[in-house]
Structure 1
Amino acid sequence: MKSIKKASKNETELIMQIKNGEEEALIDLCYLYKPLINKVKSMYHVRYYDSQDWDQDALIICHDSAKKFDLKKGKFSSYYKTRLTNHAKSLVRYDNAYRRQALKQSISLETARKNNLSPMKKDSTSIPEVPLSENIAILTAHLSNLEINALLVELGLKNQDEILHRLNISELTLSRAHSRLAQKMRKTLLN
């Protein structure tokens, strides 16, 4: 029973320190709620969100919660848990909404046949006036080492497993580099 009162008192002191601008107390307060943070991490899956992203969001939410929390009303643990869980749910909702965009815009083949709809014609992309070789030179000048390796894997010049082992990175990291590469290619080659 004494340890609960001590932890509660310690929590109150940490919240007061954060309110007074002592940011070092934030790490200690987050450490008290590490089990809660880990539970939320395990309950909600967000595509391309790793453990560090969750920890950073938990830290930001903890700081904001401590600043806004009224010590006279309720328990901080309940307040923080609610805010962290709501944030996780918002991330999941956003991720799911993004995935459903194509589904919302599509219609079934039967509906298209009933309404005598023909397939949509793809927009033709204008041919850039700058020679392609110059655009490629501009593109490669703006790529990081990881993005260059992702390009080599995509072109089939390097083996993905070899790159993962040589650079000591995860598949997710290489996938993110590939996404950045695609964005840079669109921006450089199509504009």
Structure 2
Amino acid sequence: MKDTEKAIKSEAELIRQIKEGDDAALINLCQLYKPLINKIKSMYHVRYYDNQDWEQDAMIICHESATSFDLNKGKFSSYYKTRLTNHARSLVRYDNAYRRQALKQSISLETAKKNHILPLNKSFASIPEIPLSENIAILTARLSDLEINALLVGLGIKDQEDVINNLKISQLTLARARSRLVQKMRQTLLS
């Protein structure tokens, strides 16, 4: 009985410390509820969610729960368990949403080859036999200085306003250069 009272008092102290912004108290409180976190993690399977994701979410929810918990009402363990369970259920609902069913039903190319599953007949651009690095070298040799600047703007390396001001061109001129760049990319990389 004394151990239970001591745990409740230390839990209340940790919650007070978390409300004051103590990160170490948050880690200690999460360690205190590690068995609960592991139980909920084992109950709900979420695709592409690993242990680090669960622990991070559990810590975030623990922090939110501690900061919003009223020490004069109920038990923190029940409050935290409810919030963590609701979060896990939301993740499962999101994972099982109807519009994501196609992703769950997809299979890898290796599995398709192993099971002799043929792809749908759809027209697609064939991958050139020339290595991509050679195609890029050919493309850059074909580009003018203005088109190279348009490429750098498109890649986010240069700022559009800086290019317009440095080259003393209009926004329309840069847009036309971008259009020519796209045409040359299609001709060089897809043919």
TM-score calculated relative to the size of structure 1: 0.55
Partner of 2:169: none
Q: In the aligned structure 2, how far is the partner of 1:47 from the partner of 1:126? A: 33
**1:105-147: per-residue Cα shift (whole Å, max 9, x none)?**
xxxxxxxxxxxxxxx99586699xxx97249879xxxxxxxxx
Shift of 1:22: 1.1
**Distance change in 2, residues 1:133/1:92 (3 Å):** same
Q: In the aligned structure 2, how far is the partner of 1:18 from the partner of 1:42? A: 27
- 1:4 lines up with 2:43 in the alignment: no
**Distance change in 2, residues 1:135/1:45 (3 Å):** farther
Structure with larger Rg:
2
Q: In the aligned structure 2, how far is the partner of 1:136 from the partner of 1:79? A: 60
Partner of 1:37: 37
**Distance change in 2, residues 1:83/1:123 (3 Å):** farther
Q: Secondary structure at the match of 1:70?
A: coil
* Identical residues among aligned pairs (%): 67
- 1:51 lines up with 2:51 in the alignment: yes
Partner of 1:61: 61
**1:44-86: per-residue Cα shift (whole Å, max 9, x none)?**
0011111111111101110111011111111111110000000
Shift of 1:11: 0.3
**Distance change in 2, residues 1:3/1:45 (3 Å):** same
**1:32-52: per-residue Cα shift (whole Å, max 9, x none)?**
111100100100001111111
**Distance change in 2, residues 1:137/1:10 (3 Å):** farther
Partner of 1:89: 89
- 1:133 lines up with 2:132 in the alignment: yes
Gap regions ≥5 residues in structure 2? 105-119, 138-188
Q: In the aligned structure 1, how far is the partner of 2:43 from the partner of 2:34? A: 14
Shift of 1:100: 2.1
Count of aligned pairs:
122
**1:144-171: per-residue Cα shift (whole Å, max 9, x none)?**
xxxxxxxxxxxxxxxxxxxxxxxxxxxx
**Distance change in 2, residues 1:89/1:125 (3 Å):** farther
Q: In the aligned structure 2, how far is the partner of 1:47 from the partner of 1:41? A: 12
**Distance change in 2, residues 1:89/1:136 (3 Å):** farther
Off by >6 Å, runs of 4+ in structure 1:
135-138
Q: Secondary structure at the match of 1:46?
A: coil
Partner of 2:177: none
Q: In the aligned structure 1, how far is the partner of 2:135 from the partner of 2:2? A: 67
Q: In the aligned structure 2, how far is the partner of 1:45 from the partner of 1:135? A: 45
**Distance change in 2, residues 1:121/1:28 (3 Å):** same
Partner of 2:101: 100
Q: In the aligned structure 1, how far is the partner of 2:71 from the partner of 2:92? A: 31
Q: Secondary structure at the match of 1:29?
A: helix
**Distance change in 2, residues 1:66/1:137 (3 Å):** farther
The aligned amino acid for 1:85 is: T
